[in-house]
Each structure stands twice: as structure tokens, then as C-alpha cells.
Amino acid sequence: MPTAIIADDEEHLAEYLAAQLARAWPELQVLALAHSGPAAAEAIGAHRPDVAFLDIRMPGATGLEVAQQLGAGPVRPHVVFVTAFDQYAIDAFDAGAADYLLKPVAAERLERTVAKLRAALQTQAPAPDLSALLAQLAQRGVVAPHYLRWIRASRRSRDGELTEQIPVADVLYIQADDKYTCVVTRQGEALIRVALSDLAGQLDPQEFQQIHRSVIVNMSSVAGTRRDLTGKLYVRMRDHARELPVARQYVNLFRQM
């Protein structure tokens, strides 16, 4: 049976959409209702639904930010944006890869969305890449340029693999590690299946800087630097014992230290 989550910060609207879907798509199982961006991302990670209905304006993170995070992670459901934007913004959705529902959601429009989703799921078509659409919406001023606020990562434990949301501000550094990328915080290490090069463009360059081809550091967590007898530069992180080598082309970042 197909599955979905619904994310809307207005609880009654989330319940209303769930009721409409029950009529238009009886076999669809709505696994969770979320009322914030982080809660939506958590529900998607926990339930791995086929479809995510994302309200664009939500506290904690917008539906667009949640969609961007999904594009950088292992779970990519088909996304339907729920929006109250004007026609100028809707034109971008019409030309983009994602479907949308305009508030208040009309039954006829929902039926078209359901038909499209059913066809995609029956043919096992992969969820489309939304990066071009999100970039276009940013250019149109629908949403200001934004960077990741949290990273969805996995930790291994005795109970199995745990998925968690790591606030970007808590990250000390990020390091490429074979097939994975390692996210290091004061609490430990977690793994994501996103290339370091792909992640770099989603981080605020005012806060995060690459210091080596395999390492990005949170500059606000840098405690200082050290040079060894050969002149090689190392970065020391706050509340972390390990020193990180700085490649020659990035040494200029630390000239004032």
C-alpha cells in the first residue's frame, strides 16, 4: 500500500488534507502528521513514505528546506508542496519537477495530483530531482537563499542504526570517509551518504570553510592553530582532541591566528 506523511504547521489543515486524501485515495496510508520542518524531516526519516505533502511555510524549516535536505539524503519520497503563494510563484511550480496544491485545497485539483502520484508509484518512477526548481524559486524571491540548518545522519548502536537530526551549529567538522561523510560533533561522530563536495554548497560559507580536500570545519569552533617543525599548519578545535591538517591553498584562512 502507498504511504505518505503530511506536514503543515496548522494542525486543522493537516487533518483536513488527510481527510480529503482518504476520499480521493482510499488505499493511501497517512503514517504521520507533522507540524514543523524538523518534525517533517524526522517523520520522513522514520517512516520512509512514498509521498511527502510539505507546507512551504513551517516553523523550524520551510517545506523547501526540508525538500533540499531530502535531495542530499538517502530517502527521497515524491514531494507535493502545499502553498498559498500567488500565481507568479505557481508558474514556477507548473514548470518544475514537483507537484503542488494551492490552499485551500480543491477536490478536483487533489484528484489530478493523486492520479499523477499513482502513475509514478505504479511505474516505480524515481522521485524527481528538485534542485533546479528550488533554485528557480530562490531567484524569483519565493524563498531567500538558505543553507542547511540541520543534517540528517546515522549512528550505529547496540540497538541498530539510529537516525538523528544534527543542528548544523553543533558540527565541529565534516570529513570525507571512504563511501560516507563523517559529521563530527562534541557528542561523537555520525555518517551521511552525501559527498563532501555536494554538502559544501549547502553550508553557510560565513560559518564553514574547507581546509583540506577531505575536511570542512566550523570556523566558530576553531580554537587555534599549530605549526610543526616543517611549517605544516594544523587546526585545533574546541572541546576536541584531534588536530586537523590544513592544505597549503587554505592556509590564508588562518593568517590572523
Which domains are seen in the chain, by residue range?
Answer: 3-139 (3.40.50.2300), 167-254 (2.40.50.1020)
| Residue-level pLDDT at 112 | 93
- What is residue 200's predicted lDDT score, i.e. its pLDDT? 81
* 44 has pLDDT over 60: yes
From residue 148, alpha-carbon distances to 61, 72, 129 in Å are 9, 10, 17
Give the per-residue pLDDT at 145: 45
**Structure confidence by residue, pLDDT tens digits, 91-149:** 656 655 678 888 888 899 999 999 999 999 999 988 888 877 777 776 665 554 457 77
pLDDT confidence bin for 40, thresholds 50/70/90: very high
Q: What does the pLDDT look like over 178-187, one tens digit per residue?
A: 778 999 999 8
174 vs 70, more confident: 174
CA distances from 243 to 83, 235, 240 (A): 46, 6, 8
Dist CA 250 CA 252 (whole Å)? 5
Residues 120 and 94 sit within 8 Å (Cβ to Cβ): no
| Contact between residue 38 and residue 61 where contact means Cβ atoms under 8 Å apart | yes
